[in-house]
Structure formats: structure tokens, C-alpha cells
Structure 1
């Protein structure tokens, strides 16, 4: 699932760097693909909450958890940050927000030159870092919710997500909008989707959906039906006002797809997500997400490639995908996996802490014993 989400972001960025034969064609294609990045990143956020809850370890301390998550995201971020920064300097392009980006604080700043600085896609890591910092506390709270109340809490989070665009419309002027944002503004988009406390709502929904499945409260919606609902939600996103199409129309289908996919996997049902290729793609998906935009945009400019025919642009996009995937594999093989193996766990075994003194509630057996969904990536 994680690679499919990264692929949606890739397609969105291909549409933005593609050299179209005319402005009308460009506008048409970009109007259709213009919400894909939001869909992909929203999927990431909900899936993160789901997978972390699904694989939570009884008695695991908050410090151990944070250590593993930082080893997972920060080395890859540091490498891609350095490469992107060097390319910006080589291409004599503006360099802004270096320190906030390096420290993964840039998503908090409502300035596009900051939150889209250096490696543009890294803003989502700034949100993920917030998720990880709050997960031990959120996990403790949410595991105390009675099983019969879980759907009510999930519904409440969805309502909160749906209310955010209304707040943006009322409180933030729509005066500095990108033409592709059709009546919205960069400030509104930042608040609706990038601002970490708001993004946290999607992560919390993922936690709740995992608890719903683990508690046996899932109502049995098949994965294909959930996927069709997601397609419908995206189609609706293209019709509603821009701020409401960012994730309001897709948040429920995303949650349903993730839960249905996990149930199908645990029950051993055949899906497209269970093959070896998809599992491998899931492993390299994080690295692919981090490298692809640098390859597509800076790579083209570095090579000085001119405008090509439509066929040539398609071929170039396919080549960009192949190069991004190859670099992602090298990043995974040379950085992510070695760091996780070497530093994600303490070298010396530690004595088990007394119950009640860790960052997680002790003995939450369902979450600790459940197998991780194979297709989650």
C-alpha cells in the first residue's frame, strides 16, 4: 500500500514537470492529477497510525520507539537533503529554509519558500516526526477507549477533518493562490493539509482504525468495494471547491481501504499487495518518495533537456521512474537498512521496566500479538 501511495505522488509531480504541447492540454491533465499528491500523502499519514498501532509491542518504552522511528526517517532525510541542496547550488536556484528543513521543523512555518524548501517532499517528514513524538501518549489514551465506542471516536475525527476546510475558508484569505488551486491560496492549503497539528488528525484516525480491526469491530467491507469508494472520493474531490478536495472527500475511503486491506491480508486472501514484487516495492517506498522529485525536476534541469514530443515526454517520465526506483534501492540498501540494523536497537539488552512506567500501557496483547499486514510496506 505504501508504494502505491508514493506512486500517486510521483504521478502528480510528473504532471507538473511534463512539457505539454499547449497550455490547454497542460491545464486539463493537471486538473485531473492535481489532487493525487494529497491523496498519496494522506494515505501515508493514516497508514502510519494504523501500522504503528498494529505492530505496537507490549512493554515497549517511548524512548525505544522514538529511537527506531528516527533511525528510519532521519538518515534518508539527511542524505536526500544534502543531494538536493547541492543540486540547488549547482543549478544556481534559490536556497531557502535550510535549517528548518534540516531539523524537520519546516512544515510548521506557513511560508511556501520554507515548507517547500530544499527537497520539496520532505515537509511530510516534519509531520511524521510530530506523529512519532505523540504516538506513545496517543496510544495510551486510545487503548483506553471502550471497544463499543471506537467507531464513534473514528467518526468524530472524520468530522474534525471535514471541518478544517471550513475554518480555512473563514479565517484565511484566499488572495495568494496558485492558478492550479482554483480559488484557494497557499496559506489555506498549508493549514488544511500541511500544518502538523491538523495533519495529526489523519494519523489518529489510523490508530483508531487499527484498534477497530484488532478489537473485532470491523464490519467486513471487502477491499475491492473500499477501493471503488476511494476512486469515487477522488472523483468527487475534482468537483468540490479546492480546499474541500484536498482530503475531505477521500479521508473515509482511505481509512476503509487500509482496514480492509489489513483484514484481507490477515485472512490470507489473494490481493495485488501480497506478491514479492509489491513487498519489495513497499520496502523501498520511503526512499523512492524522497528521491523522486529531485530526479524529475533537478535531474531534467541538470541535463538541460529541451521540450520533447508527447511520446518523448512519456519516455522521459518512465526513465525518471526507473532512475528514481534504482536510486531508492541504493538508498535503502546503503543507508536505511544498515542504520536500522545497527542503531535502531540498543546494543545491550535492557531489563524490562516495571508495568506502568513505559510510554505504552503494559500487556495490550491484541496489538502486540497481531501480525503486521504484508501489503503495508
Structure 2
């Protein structure tokens, strides 16, 4: 079941994260309220985790059982080539950070499991480390819960979500009174088990959708939910990075998937859908591309204002991401999927 309108939302989330990682001297951070949105825009990673769970169920819901080996091979083919490319691009300008231990953790997706190591090398890769866990457990979840209609997974997901929010709330409170603690920060932001509730919630949203996928016009509810997301980031100082935003992200994902209004027609336009397809390249290479661009600008000797750098950066990032998607991600994905490995 293809849902083209949801693909472009991945690009929007990726660009929000890109802006949140850019220099805070940029003009967007000098605008009241708008600055609050972009300071918290890395919550887009939470959107990716939930959407990943949703898409997994939608993609496989007609299967009686998932073959684990084929599934792992397809996921590896989809995610790993650009994951490695991001590392190689990073080392172009940060080769002094090279160590075999860091390379080992990064290549095996273990960095988010080790306290203090989540942000090593190409640091957006921490979320791919989390995704590896999702991919590992999904065939088990599907074969023993989803395919069999086992309702206990709903209770389990609810309990995991509540426990996660409880510990996140404790961290937020202790940080407010005592300042942030590195170990607890690493645990709650990056540790894979703290994000599993998001993937499970996305799975359940996918189950609901495939059973209730009749199309109708949800343009107005979608706009209202989007406004609520923005207002929440501006005015409500909560810890949003471990699934709390699922209460808004899930209705948004489900409704846009069921929508047949103007928003769907707009987001389903081929150029926008294509940008969504290239969004993984945007996300996983945006830091090394920024570092390389800074080196090039410094080498050129030109004095360029930060806002001008941002404009150049966005253009370069989109162009390189499209190139990486078209020339590396797609051909290697197709090649690896066809390998007769068993």
C-alpha cells in the first residue's frame, strides 16, 4: 500500500532537524517564538521513529509471516550504504577523530548503547543505531503479535510509553533544579530502549490505519494538529524526545494517510514526493556536508554572513542529497536486495 503524501513529510522533518543543527546566530533564532520551534525541531527524530513503525506495518500487513533473513537483508540494503557514506564524508574534515573503536561502534550501530558514545563521528547516526534495534525486533513482533491479532501488544505498548514518560519527567525535573547530567542526558535522549515506545506506537497506528483506511477530506484537522504541534513546541516546556509527541504525531500520520484533500494532492506531487524519497540522504549527510562546505568557504577566503551561508548550505545539501539518493542509495539498495544470499 503506497501512501505518497506521507513521503514529503519526511523531508519536512529532516529539514527541521537540519535547521536545528545549524548555527544559532542565524536570523531564524532572532525571531521571538519562531526560535523556540527550531531549538526543539530535533523532535523530528521522534517523528521519524513513529513513522518508521507505521510504515513497517503498512508495508508488510498482507503477509502471514515475515521471513527474518529477507527482511534483514532488505533493511540493510535500504539503510546501510548512506549510513557508511555519512561516515566517510565526515572523516573528510574530521579525520583527527578517527579511531578503530569509534569506527567499530559506528559501523555496527552500537554507539547509542554505550554511555558517552552516542554522538561519535557522524552524530546523526545515533538514530540509525536506534533504528537497528527496531529492525531487529520487528519480524518477531509481526510474526507473534501483529499477524496473529494478539491484543496484548496494545497493553504492553501503553505500559512502555507510560514508563518512558515517567523517567523522562524525572530527568526534566532534575535538570531544571540541578542542571543537566551527562549520563542521564545520554540515557534519555539516545539510549535505544527509551525510544522503543515510539516505534511500537507507530506499529499500532499502522494496524489501525490498514483496518480503517477509507479516504476522506481531513485538511482542516491536519492543519489544526500541525498548529498544535507548533504551539506545543513554543509554549509548553516539556521533554518531547521520548514519545510524548506521539499524541500529536500519530493523529497527524494517520489522518494524512487517510486524507484525499488539497494537502494530499499537494504533497503527492512528484517533485515533493521525490524530495521525501531523498530525505534520508538529507538527514544522514547534513552534518558532514556542512563541515565540508565550511572548509570550502574558509579556503576560498571570502567573508560570508551566516544567513548567506545558510542559503548556500540548503541548496548544496538538497542537490547533494538528490545525487546521493539517485546514484548511491537506489542502485546499491537494488543491487543488495538481489544478492542471492541465504
- Tell me the equivalent position of 1:134: 137
- Tell me the equivalent position of 2:92: 86
Residue 273 in structure 1 maps to residue 281 in structure 2:
no
Q: If each structure's helix is expressed as a fraction of its own residues, which one has the higher value?
A: 2
Task: Give the direction of change, closer, same or farther, for the CA distance of 1:296–1:26 in structure 2 (3 Å limit).
Answer: farther
Task: Give the direction of change, closer, same or farther, for the CA distance of 1:334–1:29 in structure 2 (3 Å limit).
Answer: same
- Tell me the equivalent position of 1:72: 78
Residues 157 and 205 in structure 1, CA contact (< 8 A), matched pair in contact too: no
Residues 49 and 203 in structure 1, CA contact (< 8 A), matched pair in contact too: yes
- Residues 29-38 or 62-71, more deviating: 29-38
Q: What does 1:189-338 align with in structure 2 at a 5 Å threshold?
A: 189-216=185-212, 222-241=218-237, 244-247=239-242, 249-264=244-259, 270-304=264-298, 312-338=305-331
Q: Report deviation, 1:155.
A: 5.0
Residues 168 and 188 in structure 2, CA contact (< 8 A), matched pair in contact too: yes
Instruction: Report the aligned-residue RMSD.
Output: 3.5
Mark the runs of 5 or more structure 2 residues left unpaired by the alignment. 1-8
Decide which of 100, 103, 108 is 2:108's aligned counterpart.
103
Q: Report deviation, 1:222.
A: 2.6
Residue by residue over 1:229-272, the C-alpha shift from the partner in whole angstroms, topping out at 9 and shown as x without a partner, is: 24323432444445x2435552211111111111126x998443
Counterpart-to-counterpart distance in 1, 2:280 and 2:330 = 12
| TM-score of the pair, normalised by structure 2 | 0.82
Question: In structure 2, the residue corresponding to 1:97 is in which secondary structure?
Answer: helix
Q: Report deviation, 1:75.
A: 1.1
Q: Report deviation, 1:25.
A: 4.2
Task: Give the direction of change, closer, same or farther, for the CA distance of 1:97–1:30 in structure 2 (3 Å limit).
Answer: farther
Counterpart-to-counterpart distance in 2, 1:129 and 1:68 = 12
Q: Report deviation, 1:61.
A: 0.5
| TM-score of the pair, normalised by structure 1 | 0.75
Task: Give the direction of change, closer, same or farther, for the CA distance of 1:333–1:108 in structure 2 (3 Å limit).
Answer: same
Aligned pairs, how many? 328
- Tell me the equivalent position of 2:38: 33
Residues 158 and 251 in structure 1, CA contact (< 8 A), matched pair in contact too: no
Q: Report deviation, 1:336.
A: 1.1
Task: Give the direction of change, closer, same or farther, for the CA distance of 1:5–1:346 in structure 2 (3 Å limit).
Answer: same
Question: In structure 1, the residue corresponding to 2:266 is in which secondary structure?
Answer: coil
Task: Give the direction of change, closer, same or farther, for the CA distance of 1:307–1:153 in structure 2 (3 Å limit).
Answer: farther
